[in-house]
Structure formats: C-alpha cells, structure tokens
Amino acid sequence: MPLRIPDRLPAIDILKKENIFVMDDTRAHTQDIRPLRIVILNLMPLKITTETDLIRLLSNTPLQLDITFMKVRSHTPKNTPIEHMMMFYKAFDELEPQKFDGMIVTGAPVESYDFEDVTYWEEMVTILDWARTHVTSTLYICWAAQAALYHFYGIPKYPLQQKLFGVFQQHVLTRDLPIFRGFDDEFFMPHSRHSEVRKADIVAHPALTLLAEGPQSGVSMMMAREGREFFITGHLEYAPDTLDNEYRRDVGKRDDVDVPVNYYRDNNPQHRPFVRWRAHANLLFSNWINYYVYQTTPYNIDEIR
C-alpha cells in the first residue's frame, strides 16, 4: 500500500522516480481504508531533504499511512522557503486536539546548547508530554532522543571532544524484540553529532532498555514503555549522500571537520560513499510501523491514551 502525503509535496516527484508508490490526498480520499496516522515533527534545517528521507523509509510497508508534518511556532527555519512551511506544515496548537498512531521527532542542530537554552524548549516539552497521551508509539532521533531522555528520565547529555561523524558498527543487544526482526547481529548506522548519552546512565534507569550499541559510537538505540518510545542516537534515515553533503558544506570553513569515518570507499572523499545501512534502516522502520504502531494502536484512534 502507498503513503498518503499532501498534494504537491516535493518528495512526491523524487520518490516516484525511485519507483516508490506514494498517493496524494486527492486519490486517497476515494479509498475506504482506515490509514495509520503518522505525525512528523521535523526540526532539521533542510526540511525537504528530511521529509524525503523519512517518507522513503515509511513507504516500505503494506499499510496505508497518512503523513502530517508538524512545526514549532517558536522557531522560524532559515533554510526552507516560508511558502513550503505554510503549505505543508501545521503548528502544534492546530494538531493538539488530534491523536496519531505514530510520531517521529527528528534531530536538530542545537546540540551545543543546554536543553533549557534552546529557543523552542518550552514548546518542545509541551509536545513531548502531549505525545505520551496522544500517540501510540514515538520514534525520537538524534537530538530529539537526547531531549526526550532528559525530559522524561533525567538522562544528561555530554559534549564530545571530537564530533562523531561517519558510519559506525552497532551490536544488537536484545534479539528477541520485534523491532529487530530480520536484523543481523551487527548493523551500521550513520552518526553526526557533538554530544552523547552514556551507557552507565541508561542501564541504571529501570524504565529504559538498551537495545543496541557500538564500540565507537556508544549507545545507539533504547526503548521505554514497552515500545511506546524509541530513542535512536544516530541517523538510519539518512540518504546515501547526506554525510557527503554535510562534509563538503563544512570542510575548509571550520577547523573541526574530519572525513566521515567508514563512509567513502578507501576513506577517500574523491570516491563514492560505501552504503551499508539502508537494508537495516528499511527493516527498522517497517518493524516499528508493523509491531509497535499497527498491531498495538486501537482501531478507534480516539481510544489512544
């Protein structure tokens, strides 16, 4: 089944060229199917790129998904046209009365700030609390994972001496969970961050389950509330060229930009990226939608508590 996404969203044309089946609102209204409602709070600066990356992964499911994009009112993005935001995004107060089967909260380029110093932190806290009673399962990515762990469980983040930048091996620690159905014992995950949460803090908290970690990247996946909350410290959603674009954007402009680890063939930026995470990325998003959203959400969406 296809994804149902807003008419004229730029991702539609991109994904159709990749032979990914998407359906705009006009056609979807003619189908008598209860789609799963997924809301995406997109905090990344390049909104259209992130939209496309996430929709590409969400399309790998036989279920029809109705995608809604959320924005915060207390921050105006500088890298996305205001017309795009007005056409495709809704503010939290517009969506607050509604309920959703699943939610994704993206990372954000605010790692160097204390949480309380982020301009939209107060609104972010309101959205985090709202998700617990209005969403069946929420997937927090990178900075959003750190923010949710801090707000709900008091887990601090720590600055890294050097940016964690590249594609890093991860080890599955809890193989019997449906989120890892079809996974190998090891998989790879892109990371691009200046801070971390630490294993000692995670395992000391009885409400948190550590799911995966890597020898270089540290903890990479955690779960709480029996799968109603997932926390991912990296970026499995990244397209093959995302790290390359970030590297070429920053190299020569800053003094802390290293070649992304385990990314280019022969670690040479003149060569193509060596993509080794896409299969597991598709598996993870498919498993999340199937086992933690579709099979647990009530048919009557108003019954979500």
Catalytic site positions: 142, 235, 237
Phi and psi of 267, rounded to 5°?
Answer: 55, 30
Phi and psi of 170, rounded to 5°?
Answer: -125, 150
Cα distances (Å, whole numbers) of residue 124 to 46, 127, 185, 192, 223: 19, 5, 35, 22, 20
Q: Give the closest residue to 151 by CA, choosing from 129, 181, 135, 134.
A: 129
In contact, 102 and 134? CB cutoff 8 Å:
no
What tokens appear for 93 in the block?
Answer: 């107060």
The DSSP line for the chain is --EEE-TT-HHHHHHHHTT--EEEHHHHTTS---PEEEEEE--SSSHHHHHHHHHHHHTSSSS-EEEEEEE-TT---SSS-HHHHHHHEEEHHHHTT--EEEEEE---S-TTS-GGGSTTHHHHHHHHHHHHHHEEEEEEETHHHHHHHHHHH----EEEEEEEEEEEEEEES-TTSGGGTT--SEEEEEEEEEEE--HHHHHT-TTEEEEEEETTTEEEEEEEGGGTEEEESS-TT--TTHHHHHHHHHBTTBTT-PPPBTTBGGG-TTSPB---SHHHHHHHHHHIIIIIIITTS-SSGGG--
